[in-house]
Chain A
Amino acid sequence: MKFTEVIEVDRNPAQVWELFCNVQELALCLPGAELTEDKGDGTYVGNVSAKLGPMSSNFVGECTIVSDNEKMTGSVKGKGMDRSGGSVGLVQVDYAIEASGGGTRVTIDADVTLSGAVAQFGRTAIIQEMSTRLIAEFAACLEAKLAAESAEQAHSIHAAEVKGVSLFFSSLWATIKGWFRRGGDD
């Protein structure tokens, strides 16, 4: 499952890049994510929990971050498993930060592979839509942090807990709308 999200932020690239280099702060913006250990070599241990309709999963795993300060690009490779549900996930996220008009454009390319129970319900479209919403929430959180008056205030901002049911239905609704949109385009 591959998708690309582009976020425009009203801050200069250096400020945005600084935030992207602060993994602790970044993790706060990812809904349902928790960072539990920084191994110091670019590897981080944590977990991500999410609810999809009746299913709740808690992926435990680690990720490795490699970034290029000069180019302001980086990539995250993560692997996790949901022990209680028999699901596993692989994620690769590449991000690039560049100046755009007066602000900054953040391009996020993500490739998520889910396998096991969570993927067996055949609701890939819903999962994709849900991922898009997670990214949107992530972006909103980033913007809020960057707009904060102080470091303390910025730190206090974090993504809202993922509201499983509402997210499920809004994702479902977006999926259904998508069908009709595609139908209309034909």
Chain B
Amino acid sequence: MTTTTDHHHPITTSEVGGIGHSIKRHEDDRLIQGAGNFVDDIVLPGMLHMTLVRSPWAHATINGIDSSAAEAIDGVVAVVTGELLAEYNLAWMPTLSGDTQAVLATDKVRYQGQEVAGVIATDPYVARDGADAVVVDYDPLPVITNPMQGLESDAPIIRTDLEDKEDNVVYEWEAGDAAATEEAFAKADRVVRVETHYPRSHPAPLETCGIVADVNPGTGETTLYMTSQAPHAHRTIFALVAGLPEQKIRIVSPDLGGGFGNKVPVYPGYVVATAASLVIGKPVKWIETRYENLISTGFARDYYMKGELAVTNEGKILGLKVDMLSDQGAFFADAQPSKLRAGLFEIVTGSYDLQAAHVTTKGVYTNKAPGGVAYRCSFRVTEASYLIERLVQNAAYELEMDPAEFRSMNFIQPDQFPYESATGLVYDSGDYETAMRKAMEMIGYDELRVEQAKAREEGRLVGIGIASFTDIVGAGPSKDYDIIGLKMFDSAELRVHPTGKAILKLGVKTQGQGHETTFAQIVAEELGIPATDIKVVHGDTDNTPYGLGTYGSRSTPVAGAATAIVARNLRDKARDIAAHMLEASADDLEWENGKFSVKGSPDSSVSIQDIAFAAYTNLPEGMEAGLEGVHYYDPPNLTFPFGTYIVAVEIDAGTGQWKVDRMVAVDDCGVRINPMIVEGQIHGGLTEGFAMSNMQSMSFDDDGNCLTAHFDNYMIPTAWETPRFELGETITLSPHHPIGAKGVGESATVGSPAAYVNAIIDALRHMGVTNIDMPVLPDRIWQAIQENAG
């Protein structure tokens, strides 16, 4: 696949606003005027409010729940316990990874913040008072706060609910070829090791999770307004879990204030509110507090990783070995395709052409909240990318080579695509060298190295870190990818109205990515209808075709392809209508700028708007009326965006403080539909990557108390500490995607943490520092300096 420059310039006019135009986001008109409609904005007549009673203990037996004091409070309507749910067979529910999870704890609590009861009241504050009045008698049990403890022979068993479960192992998984990898290691001159913990992080979207559950007592019609990144899949899960007829369930996911994977799982609160509405016969609203969101909803990462890279003295990578322990929390609730136990960790071979790789992973139950969501990453790709980029950088030091040159020697070459990796993935396209050279040029890499040498002589600690990542997004082909059995295709339904305006309905759901704009631009590109004339509808299961939702950067690779294809199908029909209107043969027509004209006589033409009108008023004999269609797209492969990020940092040796002097990010995500939105996505991802490397980690004390239950300890970067980003691009098309796009929402979160940490290690490596675990807080740097100062 070659890098093209053709796609840097849009084909459509700015009035049409097709692919390549940085048009303003359609959704922002309402969002910036405070006219958005979020779940908490929804108020229904007679609506009640729910607060959940949560466990203060990380692991404790429940002896009894006394809700009499709560029930006596004026305004408290009901207290829902696990015992009550059990009567409806709702005390437990399946997770997205095929495990079971307590909805409301009945036997014991397994993590701090676990849901124990729901108090329903006429007012949210009364519900809160009611929750405080529920007395739960607990007997604390020994606590497991990391996977190493969980594997000890005398460790308490967390999942006593699972029959015959005698340990805390969730799964064991491997990828690659062990024998071939041993062979490669036997040939190596050196083996470079990195052992590190990718800390537990939390997506922490601006809007927390919530629901307004409205079960009509007369008809049983159930409308659930909920914070859902995957409304259709959630509808099916509700039908299966609650035994409700699916045609009576309507899920509406209105405006979402961010998701980042946090709104993929089905949380107990949704189920309890729905059960309460069913039992009471009135709508029930439940909105999480920030505290509840942080302590109980889907976390991300938490991998203890050991990586080994076999290299030759000449600088060639031969093989890779990885062994990991994964902290899964109390229930295995990773939001990922069924067949993947460690997500898409196979991408750990990264951008490098190596002969053999072998990966082993063990997942372990701990007394922490379940989750394992793909926080702005396509299922464990962030951890994989981080490990290989850290290994490669350290291997270069070991061989006394420049990290950029070492990468260059080992990159998969453009003519090797499609490239089958040592773990069995088939990369669609890439040109890693070009992206890296562009980033090096932008940051002035050679000059920076000269300055670094000078700074070191002055006793200053300056470092340059690179990450040349390969991401994998757009799950996925139905033969390999499903979530609880649902194949991971996605859909688009397009209707062109008689006046030439259109409505596009999607199976995916934006959480801020700008779908209402970019998907309109795809239609504008294909049909010539101005993007502003296209309304995009999503997030309402009664009014959109089935889809698996938005996460893992899959909207553009999957639903974007569906949109392009349905638009092309309508264009085929439009051609036949145009032939009828122009009294010409369809074969004699050509398409340009939203018009069909007779070849050789450009004046004889009809616009898409004229054709749309004719579709309802002047059809050829025998043709079905209307101009509409639906397409379900089953991607032939995933897409593999890539790029190179380079970071320059300076460390204060006295305090361990570090600051980013420069941050250059060159991304290649194939065709950029709306470059402004793409850049916004990259800025967001780079900021989140910075936060993970610099300040964020969900931490726990030995008793399982979550020490990062508030934003004072779980820090969110503000404009003050966030570095300035300099962006660049290369464009390598995805050969199998209809418009050559790859998806970009997560590249920057995946790629950037290694760049920041590599820069810090680069500044300290002359002292012998080879690793500091994230988050690289000043005290950790200071400690590393002291330990290596001799």
Q: Which residues of A contact B (CB under 8 A)?
A: 81, 83-84, 86-88, 90, 113-117, 119-122, 124
Give the distance in Å from the alpha carbon of A35 to the alpha carbon of B142 in the complex: 30
B713 part of interface (Cβ distance < 8 Å): yes
B163 part of interface (Cβ distance < 8 Å): no
Nearest 5 interchain pairs by C-beta: A116-B56, A122-B707, A119-B705, A120-B709, A88-B56
Give the distance in Å from the alpha carbon of A120 to the alpha carbon of B704 in the complex: 9
Which B residues are CB-close (under 8 A) to A83?
132-133, 135
How many residues does chain B have at the interface if contact means C-beta atoms less than 8 Å apart? Answer: 21
B597 part of interface (Cβ distance < 8 Å): no
Q: Is the CB of B140 within 8 A of A120?
A: no
Interface digits, B673-709 against A, CB 8 Å rule (1 contact, 0 not)? 0000000000000000000000000010101111101
Q: Which residue of B lies closest to A1 (CB)?
A: B703
Q: Is the CB of B54 within 8 A of A120?
A: no
Interface digits, B106-144 against A, CB 8 Å rule (1 contact, 0 not)? 000000100000000000000000001101001010000
Q: How far is the CB of B782 from chain A (nearest CB, A)?
A: 13
B165 part of interface (Cβ distance < 8 Å): no
Give the distance in Å from the alpha carbon of A83 to the alpha carbon of B130 in the complex: 10
Q: Is the CB of B56 within 8 A of A81?
A: yes
Q: Is the CB of A113 within 8 A of B56?
A: no
- In-complex Cβ contact of A90 among B112, B140, B699, B704 (8 A): B140
Q: Is the CB of A120 within 8 A of B703?
A: no
Q: List 11 A-B contacts (CB under 8 A).
A: A81-B135, A83-B133, A86-B132, A90-B140, A115-B140, A116-B57, A119-B701, A120-B705, A120-B707, A121-B707, A121-B713
Give the distance in Å from the alpha carbon of A81 to the alpha carbon of B69 in the complex: 15
- In-complex Cβ contact of A88 among B57, B132, B699, B706 (8 A): B57
- In-complex Cβ contact of A124 among B58, B135, B701, B709 (8 A): B701
Which A residues are CB-close (under 8 A) to B58?
115
- In-complex Cβ contact of A115 among B112, B135, B295 (8 A): B112
- In-complex Cβ contact of B138 among A86, A88, A124 (8 A): A88
Q: A116-B57, A120-B707 are in contact. List 12 more A-B contacts (CB 8 A).
A: A83-B132, A83-B133, A83-B135, A86-B132, A88-B56, A113-B703, A114-B703, A115-B58, A115-B705, A116-B112, A120-B705, A122-B701
Give the distance in Å from the alpha carbon of A113 to the alpha carbon of B701 in the complex: 11
Q: Which residues of B contact A (CB under 8 A)?
A: 54, 56-58, 112, 132-133, 135, 138, 140, 295, 699, 701, 703-707, 709-710, 713
Which A residues are CB-close (under 8 A) to B701?
119, 122, 124
Which A residues are CB-close (under 8 A) to B699?
122
Task: Say whether, besides A81-B56, A88-B56, A115-B57, A120 and B138 are in contact (CB < 8 Å).
Answer: no
Give the distance in Å from the alpha carbon of A113 to the alpha carbon of B142 in the complex: 12
Q: How far is the CB of A49 from chain B (nearest CB, A)?
A: 15
Which A residues are CB-close (under 8 A) to B140?
90, 113, 115
Q: Is the CB of B703 within 8 A of A119?
A: yes
Q: Which residue of A lies closest to B704 (CB)?
A: A115
Give the distance in Å from the alpha carbon of A83 to the alpha carbon of B140 in the complex: 17
- In-complex Cβ contact of A86 among B54, B707, B710 (8 A): B54
Which A residues are CB-close (under 8 A) to B295?
120
Give the distance in Å from the alpha carbon of A31 to the alpha carbon of B555 in the complex: 60
Which A residues are CB-close (under 8 A) to B703?
113-115, 119
Chain B interface mostly helix, strand, loop or mixed? loop
Give the distance in Å from the alpha carbon of A86 to the alpha carbon of B289 in the complex: 14
- In-complex Cβ contact of B710 among A81, A84, A87, A120 (8 A): A120
Give the distance in Å from the alpha carbon of A67 to the alpha carbon of B705 in the complex: 33
Give the distance in Å from the alpha carbon of A81 to the alpha carbon of B134 in the complex: 11
Which B residues are CB-close (under 8 A) to A115?
56-58, 112, 140, 703-705
Which A residues are CB-close (under 8 A) to B112?
115-116
Q: Which residue of B lies closest to A60 (CB)?
A: B135
Give the distance in Å from the alpha carbon of A114 to the alpha carbon of B56 in the complex: 9
Which B residues are CB-close (under 8 A) to A90?
140
Q: Is the CB of A87 within 8 A of B132?
A: no
Which B residues are CB-close (under 8 A) to A124?
701
Give the distance in Å from the alpha carbon of A114 to the alpha carbon of B140 in the complex: 11
Give the distance in Å from the alpha carbon of A87 to the alpha carbon of B706 in the complex: 12
Q: Which residue of A lies closest to B58 (CB)?
A: A115
Q: How far is the CB of B37 from chain A (nearest CB, A)?
A: 31
Give the distance in Å from the alpha carbon of A125 to the alpha carbon of B496 in the complex: 66
Q: How far is the CB of B326 from chain A (nearest CB, A)?
A: 24
Q: Which residue of B lies closest to A116 (CB)?
A: B56
Which A residues are CB-close (under 8 A) to B132?
83-84, 86
Of the listed residues B56, B295, B703, B706, the one surrounded by the most CB atoms of chain A closer than 10 A to its CB is: B56
Which A residues are CB-close (under 8 A) to B57?
88, 115-116
Q: Is the CB of A87 within 8 A of B707?
A: no
- In-complex Cβ contact of B56 among A84, A86, A122 (8 A): A86
Task: Say whether, besides A86-B54, A88-B57, A116 and B705 are in contact (CB < 8 Å).
Answer: yes
Q: How far is the CB of A35 from chain B (nearest CB, A)?
A: 20
Which B residues are CB-close (under 8 A) to A84?
132
Q: Is the CB of B56 within 8 A of A117?
A: yes
Q: How far is the CB of A92 from chain B (nearest CB, A)?
A: 12
Which A residues are CB-close (under 8 A) to B713?
121-122
Give the distance in Å from the alpha carbon of A128 to the alpha carbon of B58 in the complex: 21
Q: How far is the CB of A26 from chain B (nearest CB, A)?
A: 25
Q: Which residue of A lies closest to B53 (CB)?
A: A86
Q: Is the CB of A120 within 8 A of B706?
A: yes
Q: How far is the CB of B603 from chain A (nearest CB, A)?
A: 74
Which B residues are CB-close (under 8 A) to A121?
707, 713
Give the distance in Å from the alpha carbon of A4 to the alpha carbon of B140 in the complex: 23
Q: How far is the CB of A44 from chain B (nearest CB, A)?
A: 17
Q: How far is the CB of A43 from chain B (nearest CB, A)?
A: 14
Q: How far is the CB of B787 from chain A (nearest CB, A)?
A: 14
Q: Which residue of B lies closest to A83 (CB)?
A: B132
Give the distance in Å from the alpha carbon of A158 to the alpha carbon of B49 in the complex: 45
Which B residues are CB-close (under 8 A) to A113?
140, 703
Q: How far is the CB of B328 from chain A (nearest CB, A)?
A: 21
Give the distance in Å from the alpha carbon of A119 to the alpha carbon of B138 in the complex: 17
Q: How far is the CB of B63 from chain A (nearest CB, A)?
A: 11
Give the distance in Å from the alpha carbon of A87 to the alpha carbon of B112 in the complex: 11
Give the distance in Å from the alpha carbon of A86 to the alpha carbon of B292 in the complex: 12
Q: How far is the CB of B60 from chain A (nearest CB, A)?
A: 9
Give the distance in Å from the alpha carbon of A122 to the alpha carbon of B706 in the complex: 9
Give the distance in Å from the alpha carbon of A88 to the alpha carbon of B112 in the complex: 11
Q: Which residue of B lies closest to A122 (CB)?
A: B707
Q: Which residue of B lies closest to A123 (CB)?
A: B707
Give the distance in Å from the alpha carbon of A152 to the alpha carbon of B704 in the complex: 46
Which B residues are CB-close (under 8 A) to A116?
56-57, 112, 705
Which B residues are CB-close (under 8 A) to A87?
56
Which B residues are CB-close (under 8 A) to A114?
703, 705
Give the distance in Å from the alpha carbon of A122 to the alpha carbon of B707 in the complex: 5
Q: How far is the CB of B293 from chain A (nearest CB, A)?
A: 14
Which A residues are CB-close (under 8 A) to B706?
120
Give the distance in Å from the alpha carbon of A177 to the alpha carbon of B479 in the complex: 64
Q: Which residue of A lies closest to B143 (CB)?
A: A115
Give the distance in Å from the alpha carbon of A115 to the alpha carbon of B136 in the complex: 14
Q: How far is the CB of A91 from chain B (nearest CB, A)?
A: 12
Which B residues are CB-close (under 8 A) to A86?
54, 56, 132
Q: Which residue of A lies closest to B132 (CB)?
A: A83
Of the listed residues A86, A113, A115, the one surrounded by the most CB atoms of chain B closer than 10 A to its CB is: A115
Give the distance in Å from the alpha carbon of A90 to the alpha carbon of B140 in the complex: 9
Which A residues are CB-close (under 8 A) to B54?
86
Q: How far is the CB of B36 from chain A (nearest CB, A)?
A: 31
Give the distance in Å from the alpha carbon of A119 to the alpha carbon of B704 in the complex: 10
Which A residues are CB-close (under 8 A) to B56?
81, 86-88, 115-117
Which A residues are CB-close (under 8 A) to B133?
83
Give the distance in Å from the alpha carbon of A149 to the alpha carbon of B280 in the complex: 65
Q: How far is the CB of B654 from chain A (nearest CB, A)?
A: 16
Q: Which residue of A lies closest to B128 (CB)?
A: A84
Q: How far is the CB of A133 from chain B (nearest CB, A)?
A: 21
Give the distance in Å from the alpha carbon of A73 to the alpha carbon of B58 in the complex: 32
Q: How far is the CB of A111 from chain B (nearest CB, A)?
A: 12
Which B residues are CB-close (under 8 A) to A117?
56, 709
Q: How far is the CB of A64 from chain B (nearest CB, A)?
A: 14
